[in-house]
Amino acid sequence: MQNEFKVTFIYHSGFLVETEKSYLLFDYWKGELPEMDSKKTLYIFSSHNHHDHFSKDIFKLENRCQKVYYILSSDIAQSTRRHKAAEEVHFMAPHETAQIGGAQVRTLTSTDAGVAFLVDVDGMKLYHAGDLHWWHWPGEPEADNQWHKKAYRQEMGYLSREKLDCAFVVLDPRQEEAGGWGMDYFLKHVGARYVFPMHCWEDYEYSKAYKVENQRTYLTGEIMDIARPGQEFILKRG
């Protein structure tokens, strides 16, 4: 995989990225994991303690590879003690930087709970949003919606200087017409070579329609077409 990397969509916001030397598992809580090469390093990321982003079952993966690192949002430490039985567990609060194994990990502040992750590993730069998103809900107080707008744009400002190889970004159909605002802003002001919609609640037609409507509008990255759990993407590096 010297000039390629693989992305496997697990479920919801869960993805497994495979590089030449490493696996990066993001927000796994449900779904089937593929077989892994035990000689590679496994990094397991959980952005926050919501049930659709974190499961205590991740600690059952400690023997999946010879070296396993857990990088967890600091709010998870308050919700479970299971981590105390595992080695190499690292808790990160918003806007922290840590060198963990061969990966440099930086965090952003979520507009919901926990953190988003920016990871430099094996010559690649990856972004996983967690629940960092432009949340706008019909019927909510205007002040709340305006706060989410401002906070999201502020965090995207930190990303705008980065050249991302791959990004996993929220696209939530429950927000109706506002569901694409966060993705719109990301594509316009940040971008990545490959952009994976997530948090779509199994509404894959919604993400497909977004791609059809917007792929030519934003030329800052290829929007990937997610159709089913377990779907694999073999992607070019560089």
Q: pTM of the predicted model, to two decimals? A: 0.95
Q: Do 28 and 44 touch, CB atoms closer than 8 A?
A: yes
Across residues 84-98, what is the average pLDDT?
88
Q: What is the pLDDT of residue 79?
A: 60
Q: Is the pLDDT of residue 238 over 90?
A: no
Residue 217 has what pLDDT?
79
CA distance 23 to 16: 7
- pLDDT reported for residue 199: 96
Give the mean model confidence (pLDDT) for residues 77-92.
Answer: 75
Residues for the chain: how many in total? Answer: 238
Residue-level pLDDT at 83: 61
Number of domains composing the chain: 1
**Residue of 109, 126, 135 whose CA lies nearest to 23:** 126
Rg over alpha carbons for the chain, rounded to the nearest Å, is 17
Domain that holds residue 104: 4-236
Q: What is the arithmetic mean of pLDDT over 70-92?
A: 81
User: CATH no. for residue 39?
Assistant: 3.60.15.10
Instruction: Name the least confident of 77-81, 138-142, 218-222.
Output: 77-81
Model pLDDT, residue 216: 75
Q: What is the mean pLDDT of residues 73-84?
A: 74
pLDDT in tens, 94-146: 999 999 999 999 999 999 999 999 999 999 999 999 999 999 998 889 999 99
Pairing of strands 192-198, 222-223: parallel
Residues near 49 by Cβ (< 8 Å), separated by ≥ 6?
Answer: 73, 75, 76, 78, 79, 80, 113, 114
Structural tokens at position 87: 């080695």
